[in-house]
Amino acid sequence: MKLYHGTNIDFKDIDLTKSNKYKDFGQGFYLTDIRSQAEQLAIKKSRLFGGEPIVQVYEINETLLESDNLNILKFERPNTEWAEFIFKNRNREYNYTHDYDIVIGPIANDGVAYLLGRYEEGTLSIEDLSKELTFRELNSQYFFGTKKSLKLLTRL
């Protein structure tokens, strides 16, 4: 299976400490199985931070995503558990961490901060939050959060 990472700076080694801690699934290396999604992210990053849009291509043996040797969390679609997990990871006050090697699931939409704020202040229920966080286009993200999980990736 091919996975794509959109960036503005090419790099050889993945350094998890350089990743933003408060993302959907926490601090880790994010990829997608949708090339156009990675391309759009690369363009966005280069506009914001300079550099050139770059899409790195990785390969992983898909059967490894079913391995008992890894702690994997998979969200098939947006639901309340998915919304709560994103809320915990993105909320700086919780300082939440988890021990998943890999997390797979949908990407929350661009209004995430606003919606999470409404949920935190109590003006939006967790059910409504999960509905509102649903991205309108097909999307996916693969989070690799440990050195053990990164060893499964081969850069092409």
pLDDT at residue number 107: 82
Reported as a pLDDT band with limits 50, 70 and 90, residue 112 is low
The pLDDT tens digits for 78-101 are 788 888 898 899 888 878 889 999
pTM of the model: 0.84
For strands 2-7 and 102-105, give the pairing: unpaired
DSSP letter for 94, please: T
Domain boundaries, the chain: 2-155
Over residues 114-128, the pLDDT tens digits come to 777 777 778 888 788
Amino acid letter for position 63:
T
Task: Indicate the pLDDT class of residue 33, thresholds 50, 70 and 90.
Answer: very high
**What whole-number distance in Å separates Cα of residue 56 and Cα of residue 11?**
9
Output the pLDDT for position 122. 82
Please report the pLDDT score of residue 3 as a whole number. Answer: 97
Query: Which pairing describes strands 72-74 and 102-105: parallel, antiparallel, or unpaired?
Result: parallel
- In whole angstroms, what is the distance from residue 71 CA to residue 69 CA? 7
